[in-house]
Structure formats: structure tokens, C-alpha cells
């Protein structure tokens, strides 16, 4: 679609240039200020090619200005969207790192728990042995 519009704009510009070349001898009387009874009329006699080129350039600059305005708005939207994506990527990275930290803490706690359980069983065995020795001493 962009190529079609670009092609059409080139064709229109070429057509305008062709019309300018054909009408090199024509002139226009343009009223810049239309006078009333108290002011003078200001008119300018321009050649058709010059007038056409002035209008063409004015249209090109006006179109470029409007397009640059819309392009700037679109670029601002794209920048905002990129910032939003970066925020979500950072938050997902921070969430992943938080999960990794929590998993490491869980492993540490599991190791501590197993060591406490092992220590408790050793103490229970020692208590049973001491009780058995006490019972033996009481029997004697």
C-alpha cells in the first residue's frame, strides 16, 4: 500500500511538472489584499509555472509537517510501549530471581531440618542407653 501511494505521488508530481512546462507563457493576476474604498488593491502578476511551483512546494511542506506530527505521535507511543515491555521484563526477571532465592532458602532449611532430626535421633538413642544404664545400676 505504501508503494502504491508513493508511486501515485510521483505520478502526480510529474503531471504537475508537465502542466508547468506546457503553460510557460500564461500569467495570473493574484490579489494579495483586496482593497476597499480606503485602501489600495495589491495585486501581483505571476506566471502560471511559478504559481504552480509555489503551490506544489507549499503543499509538499504542509504534507511533510502533518506527517511529521503524526510520526512523532506514533514514535512516542512506540517508546511508551517499549518502556512498558522493559518494565514487565524487569519484573519477570526480578520475580525469577526472587523464586531462585526462595528455593535456595528452602534447600537450606531442609538441610537444617534434616540435621536437627538426625541430632534428635542421636539424642534419643543416647537417652535410651543412659536409661538402660540407670536401670542396670538400680538393679544391682
Q: Which three cell numbers stand for residue 134?
A: 540407670
* pLDDT of 133: 86
- 94 in the same domain as 134: yes
Give pLDDT tens digits for 78-113. Answer: 999 988 888 777 777 777 778 888 888 899 999 989
Q: What is the mean pLDDT of the chain?
A: 82
Distance CA 121, CA 127 (A): 10
Residue 20 half-sphere exposure, CB side, CA atoms within 13 Å? Answer: 16
> Residue 35 pLDDT > 70, yes or no?
no
- Residue 130 sits in which domain range? 81-140
Q: Are residues 94 and 130 in the same domain?
A: yes
pLDDT at 73: 92
* Residues 108 and 140 both lie in one domain: yes
Classify the C-alpha dihedral 30-36-37-39 as positive or negative.
negative
Query: Is the model's pLDDT at 74 over the cut of 70?
Result: yes
Question: Do 55 and 86 have their domain in common?
Answer: no
Region 11-28: mean pLDDT is 79
| Cell 503524526, residue located | 70
Task: Quote the number of domains for the chain.
Answer: 2
CA 28, 29, 35 angle in degrees (round to 5)?
A: 160
Give, in degrees to the nearest 5, the angle at Cα 49 between 48 and 53. Answer: 115
Amino acid at each position: 500500500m505504501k508503494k502504491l501511494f508513493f508511486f501515485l505521488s510521483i505520478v502526480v508530481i510529474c503531471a504537475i511538472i508537465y502542466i508547468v512546462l506546457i503553460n510557460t507563457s500564461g500569467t495570473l493576476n493574484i490579489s494579495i489584499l483586496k482593497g476597499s474604498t480606503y485602501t489600495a488593491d495589491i495585486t501581483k502578476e505571476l506566471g502560471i509555472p511559478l504559481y504552480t511551483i509555489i503551490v506544489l512546494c507549499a503543499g509538499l511542506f504542509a504534507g511533510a509537517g502533518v506527517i511529521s506530527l503524526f510520526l512523532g505521535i506514533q514514535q512516542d507511543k512506540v517508546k511508551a510501549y517499549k518502556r512498558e515491555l522493559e518494565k514487565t521484563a524487569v519484573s519477570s526477571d526480578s520475580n525469577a530471581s526472587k523464586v531462585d532465592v526462595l528455593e535456595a532458602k528452602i534447600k537450606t532449611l531442609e538441610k537444617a531440618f534434616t540435621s536437627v532430626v538426625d541430632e534428635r535421633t542421636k539424642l534419643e538413642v543416647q537417652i535410651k542407653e543412659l536409661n538402660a544404664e540407670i536401670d542396670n545400676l538400680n538393679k544391682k
